[in-house]
A and B are shown apart, each in its own frame.
Chain A
């Protein structure tokens, strides 16, 4: 049953993905995701040291 559902879903996705190029363009150009990327970048750009990951990178260097 589960396997059958999975195959149905795969066939459904394959059908949709005939329009793959336009779907990829829609994903890349999603205003919501672009806004969230900007918010994430902004939040990270405001951080000041010391960072909690400093020791992670120090260990990597050693």
Chain B
């Protein structure tokens, strides 16, 4: 995937990463957290991790991570490509692991009946499908049902694993 991405730092283990988004609203610190999900032996995935990300925001010397914000920094494709690169690096380092990710439903998403961050994730997957599908297997879930990822279908949750 030869998309333009931000350089990122691994902050802890292979599970917390940070990078700086730089756009029309200035610099925003972004963080990616990869967290383990419970193991269900009958469902095979072991280990399975969930990927989440958001803006690291400081208020009165306190830090919070807000994963619901739209930074409006005008660089979402580059941010999503950076998150995708982090996910790919994680999966290459941990070939037994699977990753789950989903966007969030905010007011705009409800209004349009779409999960906007997932739309962006999927746009990234779809536009790089010939390359990604050689190295990774994707599955898409909607309303509790998963299928092998089909380019063009819209999903609520996506699972990915190295082949």
Contact = CB atoms under 8 A, between A and B. Distances in A.
Do the two shown chains form a genuine complex with each other? yes
Interface of A: 5-6, 9-10, 12-13, 16-17, 19-20, 22-28, 30, 32-33, 36-37, 39-41, 43-47, 49, 51-54, 56-57
Interface stretch (B31-39, B83-91, B118-126, B127-135): B31-39
A52 B146 contact: yes
B18 A17 contact: yes
A37 B56 contact: no
Nearest to B67: A32
Nearest to A29: B65
Interface residues of B, number: 50
Is chain A's binding surface mostly helix, strand, loop or mixed?
Answer: helix
B35 A22 contact: no
A47 B16 CA distance: 28
Contacts of B16: 24, 27-28
Contact of A9 (B22, B156, B161): B22
Nearest to A59: B163
Given A10-B7, A30-B67, A36-B102, A44 B35 contact: no
Given A6-B7, A32-B67, A40 B102 contact: yes
Contacts of B156: 43
Q: Which of B31, B45, B68 has the most CB of A within 10 A?
A: B31
